[in-house]
């Protein structure tokens, strides 16, 4: 099973709402990632969790709050978003996100994404 499952597939929220995106994998991977992708642009890394600890935060605004409850699950909590935050949010996992990990250990498996619209 090489599947990364993201829910929901689509989400519409107002600027005062609180919502969460969910990502799940059962490949035994110990690194999980959140990316943001605007239309016709490449994915941009937001956060990296390695062994359930936050290892990279790419200066993401605090209205995005990641959480990794266990090695299979990754959440992204959203609060007070702006219309410009509308995008496709992608989750990925890889065997390990450790420093110096190379080659196959860095191959990332992506979910299909959650398409978020902020009104």
Partner 1 sequence: DAKTTQPNSMESNEEEPVHLPCNHSTISGTDYIHWYRQLPSQGPEYVIHGLTSNVNNRMASLAIAEDRKSSTLILHRATLRDAAVYYCIGGGTSYGKLTFGQGTILTVHP
Which parts of this chain interact with partner 1 (CB under 8 A)?
Answer: 4, 31, 33, 42-45, 48, 50, 55-56, 90, 92, 94, 96-104, 106-113
Cα–Cα nearest to 92, from 50, 57, 64, 63: 50
- Do 109 and 63 meet the contact criterion of CB atoms below 8 Å apart? no
Of 44 and 80, which CB lies nearer to partner 1 in the complex structure? Answer: 44
Q: Least CB distance from residue 83 to partner 1, whole Å?
A: 22
- Do 80 and 15 meet the contact criterion of CB atoms below 8 Å apart? yes
Of 50 and 118, which CB lies nearer to partner 1 in the complex structure? Answer: 50
Q: Is 84 helix (H, G, I), strand (E, B) or coil?
A: helix
Of 22 and 79, which CB lies nearer to partner 1 in the complex structure? Answer: 22
């Amino acid at each position: 099973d090489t599947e990364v499952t993201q829910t929901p597939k689509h989400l519409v929220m107002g600027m005062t709402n609180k919502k969460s995106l969910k990502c799940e994998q059962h490949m035994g991977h110990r690194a999980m990632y959140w990316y943001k992708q605007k239309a016709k642009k490449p994915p941009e890394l937001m956060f990296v969790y390695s062994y359930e600890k936050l290892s990279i935060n790419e200066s993401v605004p605090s209205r995005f709050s990641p959480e990794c409850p266990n090695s299979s699950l990754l959440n992204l909590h959203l609060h007070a978003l702006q219309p410009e935050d509308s995008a496709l949010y992608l989750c990925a996992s890889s065997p390990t996100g450790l420093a110096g990990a190379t080659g196959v250990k860095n191959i990332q498996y992506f979910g299909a994404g959650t398409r978020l619209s902020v009104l």
